[in-house]
Structure 1
Amino acid sequence: MTFLPRASALAAVLILGGAVLSGCADDAPDRPSGADFLPAPTTTATPADEGCGDVAAAVTKHLNSDDVDKVTVEGQCTTVVVGTVLADEDTATGQQLCDAAGEVAYTGDINSVRVLSKAGTELSNGITGMKCLP
């Protein structure tokens, strides 16, 4: 009876095992990745006519500013988002718009206001009963 040295036997097992495994991989069906189980991305913006009342219109009218680009309601009618044409550095104007929006925004389930720059950077945010923060 002939015995192979331990290293040679291990090498033979690894080579044969690798050949068997690689041969199976080509015949295996495609398996879904983890990303296939995730829900498709969606926007959280809720148009004013879908159950949030006329809060966005009221805020737009109240602000009456050329700096305001668009007012939307997000979440489950909980956050008013004021999109602006302001630069990322213009946090003082963003804070003023946020405070002004808060004067009429906090109705129903609305409990926060966010003001965004043209690039989408948050300039200011506020919650019910508090002054907005930059």
Structure 2
Amino acid sequence: MSPVRHVTLVTSVITLGIASLAGCSEADGPSSPPSPGAAAPSPTATEVPCGAVADTVSRHLRSDQVRAVTVEGQCTTVVVATTLGDGDAGPGRQLCDRAGEVAYSGDVNSVRVLSGSGSELANGITGMRCLT
């Protein structure tokens, strides 16, 4: 077998292998979108929507010092924005520990508490007390 014919044969085999692995066929078209009335699957206990976690933490903290509670990342970090000053690490750590009592559900694995200027006052991770 000539080298050119061998390379062509090998190239053809590789191309066919890639096409079959990718599941290419002319019958495959774009998938149709779900019908407007179709219900989305409901989340399980470990798949709590990000907004629900933020609302739960906000209700649990019930403090005039809390301006907003949001979730960042891919629903992994609860961020508590406060009116506290940059030197208020103690109250920030207390808010962080309290937020941690209810925040760690679904993918949430950390809590951050920020001062009014945006400086981090405290942070915590699942199963640990918050640090300043």
Coarse TM-score class (shorter-chain normalised): 0.5 to 0.7
Q: Does structure 1 residue 132 correspond to structure 2 residue 118?
A: no
Count how many residue pairs are aligned between Structure 1 and Structure 2: 84
- Provide the alpha-carbon RMSD of the alignment: 0.7
The answer on 1:101 being equivalent to 2:94 is: no
Instruction: Give the whole-Å Cα distance in 2 for the aligned partners of 1:74 and 1:122.
Output: 15
Aligned-residue offset at 1:77 = 0.1
Task: State whether structure 2 residue 88 is matched by structure 1 residue 87.
Answer: no
* Pairing partner for 1:74 from 66, 72, 75: 72
Deviation at 1:52, TM superposition (A): 1.7
**8 Å contact from structure 2 (residues 51, 70) kept in 1:** no
TM-score (ref. length: structure 1):
0.62
CA deviation string 1:51-79 (max 9, x = no partner) = 42400000000000000000000000000
Runs of 4+ residues over 4 Å off in structure 1: none
1:117 alignment counterpart:
115
Distance 1:110 1:62 in 2: 16
Identity, % of aligned positions: 68
Counterpart Cα distance in 2 of 1:53 and 1:84: 18
In structure 1, distance between residues paired with 2:124 and 2:50: 19
Counterpart-to-counterpart distance in 1, 2:53 and 2:88: 25
Cα shift readout 1:30-53 (whole Å, capped 9, x = no counterpart): xxxxxxxxxxxxxxxxxxxxx424
Instruction: Check the 8 A contact 2:76/2:110 in 1, yes or no.
Output: yes
The structure that has the greater radius of gyration is 1
* Equivalent position amino acid for 1:123 in 2: L
State the AA in 2 paired with 1:101.
A
